[in-house]
Chains A and B, each alone.
Chain A
Amino acid sequence: SQTIHQWPATLVQPVGSPLSLECTVEGTSNPNLYWYRQAAGRGLQLLFYSVGIGQISSEVPQNLSASRPQDRQFILSSKKLLLSDSGFYLCAIRTSGNTGELFFGEGSRLTVL
């Protein structure tokens, strides 16, 4: 079965600083990859998804970006963080051939001060 690694688990950054969150996957190949943000412990907002290397779809315009440099690596970045970027960031995968369920990593909690 697949394993999803996210790091760092916790991050405190000042406003205006850059961001890099990383997600790597083991145990599967060519997955669909997703970044979600969860604010205040409630609803999930889909930020980006990728169906292959270098292929990124953005769902919400904002100061975040995503990249997929390798098949099983998905990176969420920002050049300048805003206070509103604080939240719990979840990486998820959908493996080929399944019926659509996503499997989630353990998340990265970002606090922007």
Chain B
Amino acid sequence: AQSVAQPEDQVNVAEGNPLTVKCTYSVSGNPYLFWYVQYPNRGLQFLLKYITGDNLVKGSYGFEAEFNKSQTSFHLKKPSALVSDSALYFCASRYTGANNLFFGTGTRLTVIP
């Protein structure tokens, strides 16, 4: 079965500290992996994706994610958190040839001033 898991419902981090939002995947073949962010009462915004190549992917708003095939993970990171980063974050995956994305259940990030 194709799926992604976000093991943490909630992550709290102090402003200025590094942040990590975790994601693991279960996708056969070569996965395509994505991160999205959602602010209250808004649609999802695309942050970054891994398709192939360099395992470290850089995206919007200073976010990056590292693809780790041996650990089947794709954690989202940022070196220094901002209060404005507080939002709901979704990891998603797609396998080659599929029309759909499989979304995780979301992780709510709160950055404390």
Contact = CB atoms under 8 A, between A and B. Distances in A.
A41 interface: yes
B70 interface: no
A107 B43 contact: yes
Nearest to A57: B99
Contacts of A102: 44, 46, 101
Interface in A57-91: 57, 59, 88, 90
Contacts of B90: 44
B105 interface: yes
B41 A101 contact: no
B51 interface: yes
Contact of B105 (A34, A43, A57, A103): A43
B32 A107 contact: no
A109 B51 contact: no
Interface in B71-98: 88, 90, 94, 98
Contacts, number: 54
Given A101-B46, A102-B101, A107-B42, 19 more contacts: A4-B43, A42-B88, A57-B99, A88-B41, A90-B44, A92-B44, A100-B32, A100-B49, A100-B94, A100-B101, A101-B49, A101-B101, A102-B46, A103-B46, A104-B45, A105-B43, A106-B43, A107-B43, A109-B41
B44 A104 contact: yes
10 contacts: A42-B105, A42-B106, A43-B106, A57-B99, A100-B32, A101-B34, A101-B101, A104-B45, A105-B43, A109-B41
B60 interface: no
Closest 9 CB pairs between A and B?
A104-B43, A100-B94, A43-B105, A104-B44, A44-B103, A106-B43, A100-B32, A99-B51, A107-B43
